[in-house]
Amino acid sequence: MSKLDSSCFHGAYKEICELLGQEAALILHEHYSGQLVSFPKKLLADSYVHEAIYREYDGSNTVYLAKKYGFTVSWMQKVVKLKKIEIVEITEVTKIIEYKGEDK
């Protein structure tokens, strides 16, 4: 298909063409035409976000991280608290395994 102006495209394909180009619109049409496709509000997986937050958290940047990742401050605090609990539990299990290994 020769290069077309975005005005030649219908509905969402026109928007895709304007945002991403004709090739992207054609690829999406080829793969998804006839289907109802919705895009979740959340782009990143929870596991990735949780790890990133915990890595970046310094005890004073809760508001900054909440804005960066698009979550509330209370949600951020829950993530940090859960991660700390997870680390403590893993540490305790590791200590138990190491202790049981010493008996042998």
Residue range 22-79, pLDDT digits in tens = 999 999 999 999 999 898 888 888 888 888 888 888 888 889 988 988 889 888 888 8
Shared domain for 35 and 57, answered yes or no, is: no
Shared domain for 20 and 62, answered yes or no, is: no
Shared domain for 71 and 95, answered yes or no, is: yes
Shared domain for 3 and 33, answered yes or no, is: yes
Alpha-carbon torsion (15, 19, 21, 25), positive or negative: negative
Could you tell me which of 43, 63, 40, 38 has the C-alpha nearest to residue 53? Answer: 63
Residue range(s) defining the domain that contains residue 24:
1-39
Tokens of 93: 């299990």
CATH number at residue 96: 1.10.10
Read off the pLDDT of each residue in 79-99 and give the average, rounded to a whole number.
69
Please give the tally of structural domains in the chain. Answer: 2
SS3 category, 63? helix
Query: The whole model's pTM is what?
Result: 0.52
